[in-house]
Structure 1
């Protein structure tokens, strides 16, 4: 886990090594490996850990005091309130300690003065024994959109915020060592970059076997996750489910969702913003090229891989799944469209490859912005440019065993539609390439062919 999160680990470690007390908020989404990251970080340290529950302030204090008694020396006095809890922990002698409050939003939401008490505790010297206060939550939406308003001016006392984002495809490949690249792309299209979801898949089984065992079997862990996929803080879940179902069926514009659902455009817009804030949906803005009239605008797509898979293949056929064996359901309803569904995630894999090459300085120029172009007739999978306008375009072919020369010609046509002057052409294929494309790459220094062996 430390290797996968080395940047976040070193950043958090830098706060731990400071002489003065620090208050850090560590957060991420569900299933992103926060618990494993915490355990690795705390290894060998002196620490106190408390998992806050959604309960009244009085019950919270009682639970914390009772758990703390088991960790402190006998006869240690724990006075009333949060101040008494902090004093009991901080009065114990050690060179450096970490106080971890997991799901801390459960305390903040029910207490008017908890943060102020915490700030006062962090401001004391405690016999020159510094402490790192680590506030942890899996509520990214709350941290990024509600926490500052809730804390008010006290938010300025927070030393830093560290977010654990999704892991990269490269991390997934290293995790599933027994799977071929194509299978890893399929797994990535189902589970995304969430380490805790990866743990449900058996590396010795095929992707289809894992899907049947962990998602399509009633009562399995990922079945239960799918059945309760939306965060609890969302009101009117029926509206959100309806919008996500519409998106999964290809209704990607606000007006198309309106026609499909009958929900007012204004309401759809508000709910889409909430889903975007939760990283469940994303707005795909077409890359700003010289030809805006040929580009589509206002495209929305499901951003979370498992949510996209669930709504594309399972949510709309739950009645069938109740009576079909998982294997039959997979072959009838998932297998026919799974390759087409996975193709979009292959584009993300290719984009990650270019990011790595860009960081290593192995491209002809170092790009500073990247995106995709969604045309009214045809798309460009990846466009990247630097400050001076040098441009890279990429075509990503997943569904075909061989990229044809016609695919390449269509790619050039879309570039013309976008009115781009391209310096480098990257052609990614999960299979191989037409001989004429290979000849083109041999004759032109700015055409690069990347097959699965190079990814």
Structure 2
């Protein structure tokens, strides 16, 4: 997970420890996109506990079964167990359950969807083993997978043979922003925000950046250079997860190019509306794309006013700076491409910074405002970057976000404009507060003394 120590994942580890401490059989499902750190999490959790870790490979089912049997025999310290002829995985696991008796043992099957891909009856056989034997022991069975769609269809949905057997599940998401500094010690708050804008909170991607090198040098070497891990990672992930990557590429290109409404995406791609709708649903389920509606929108308005954006920062950056410049990058001109992109990247960071501040953990730690709902607001050409609502107390905090250095006069002008726009939001009889977040705000102390809520990167450093 990190170069020297395991970073964060406190909630996930607490979840696993609670399950391990129970006095019953546990059947957990751990899943999430590739590179998110699932394997590292599970191995770190199991490091000081009796466990067997089995990674499914591209080999045929029977070879995978033999490898699992070898690992189980090694754990038992019994060579004869490794030589018994088992017809299928259910027989193997039930025999293993008989051998461990009432002992607490963790069995991790990593990349479970691959096993199903090689042999469709696996889910049914595992259900049989669980129902007949495993559920009556103290085993802790963990199925792990990177293919989000496969894990949901083979394990979590109603039609799956394993439906109803799991005792818990956890979908891993990105490392929170405030832990990025542990990956890149010495980086300033500004550099960390820019790094988040390129690779998000994906542990494997953060580890690609060298903390001894500057942000720009890392981007050129690790993302914009042919042969670098992050140079073709987006293509690899889409081809691994999706059956028709060309159509998904077209949709993501359209969104990255500023086509955020459904009709605009349809026109840009030339695809049928029903297909675009289906593909967008898949991309949302995978966590690559999100659909936003004004935070105060009614259910009726939500169906009409949605805007699509790429949620995953790495994909956003890749489709904006890698794919359109492939010809130059293939020729080894990454440094020149990055120099030429400086102005556009600054504009891109305005979008990134706004999204970062709007993430619940960052917003709450920065502002301390106890919201029940948070999001953007827009209507007829007017827009507010962040509207946080406390529906129980009927309080609202309106915030503008600027990726620039502001003079005290500029800050006052923005706050005054924010008050005007906030009057357009249908929140009558609510207590309203107004805030501003920027790279740097001159006269911040004076503004605060007057009751204005203002924050800049100096406050990020303190957090």
Structure-1-length-normalised TM-score: 0.88
Structure 2: which 5+ residue stretches go unaligned? none
Deviation at 1:67, TM superposition (A): 5.0
**Equivalent residue for 1:431, pick from 425, 440, 443:** 440
**Equivalent residue for 1:224, pick from 215, 232, 235:** 232
Deviation at 1:85, TM superposition (A): 2.5
Report Cα offsets for 1:387-428 as digits up to 9, x if no partner. Answer: 242111111111345454332233223223334455221211
Partner Cα separation in structure 2 for residue 164 and residue 9 of structure 1? 11
Alignment match, 1:374 = 378
State the secondary structure of the residue aligned to 1:279: coil
Report if aligned partners of 2:51, 2:106 keep a CA contact under 8 Å in 1: yes
Partner Cα separation in structure 1 for residue 153 and residue 419 of structure 2? 42
Deviation at 1:125, TM superposition (A): 6.9
Alignment match, 2:69 = 65
Report if aligned partners of 2:7, 2:179 keep a CA contact under 8 Å in 1: no
Report if aligned partners of 2:377, 2:384 keep a CA contact under 8 Å in 1: yes
Alignment match, 1:202 = 210
**Equivalent residue for 2:414, pick from 401, 407, 412:** 407
Report Cα offsets for 1:254-290 as digits up to 9, x if no partner. Answer: 1122232322222222211111111111101111169
Report if aligned partners of 2:290, 2:309 keep a CA contact under 8 Å in 1: yes
State the secondary structure of the residue aligned to 1:427: strand
Alignment match, 1:20 = 24
Partner Cα separation in structure 1 for residue 254 and residue 372 of structure 2? 34
* 1:51 matched to 2:52: no
CA RMSD of aligned residues (A): 2.8
Report if aligned partners of 1:115, 1:151 keep a CA contact under 8 Å in 2: no
Structure 1: which 5+ residue stretches go unaligned? none
Partner Cα separation in structure 1 for residue 162 and residue 153 of structure 2? 16
Report Cα offsets for 1:30-81 as digits up to 9, x if no partner. Answer: 1111121112101111111111134543343234335555554323343312
Report if aligned partners of 1:384, 1:392 keep a CA contact under 8 Å in 2: yes
Partner Cα separation in structure 2 for residue 235 and residue 69 of structure 1? 38
State the secondary structure of the residue aligned to 1:154: coil
Partner Cα separation in structure 2 for residue 323 and residue 105 of structure 1? 38
Report if aligned partners of 1:21, 1:122 keep a CA contact under 8 Å in 2: no
Deviation at 1:174, TM superposition (A): 3.1
Deviates more, 1:339-348 or 1:249-258: 339-348
Structure-2-length-normalised TM-score: 0.87
Cα distance change, pair 246–117 in 1 and its aligned pair in 2 (3 A): closer
* 1:354 matched to 2:359: no
Report if aligned partners of 1:380, 1:414 keep a CA contact under 8 Å in 2: yes
How many correspondences in the alignment? Answer: 443
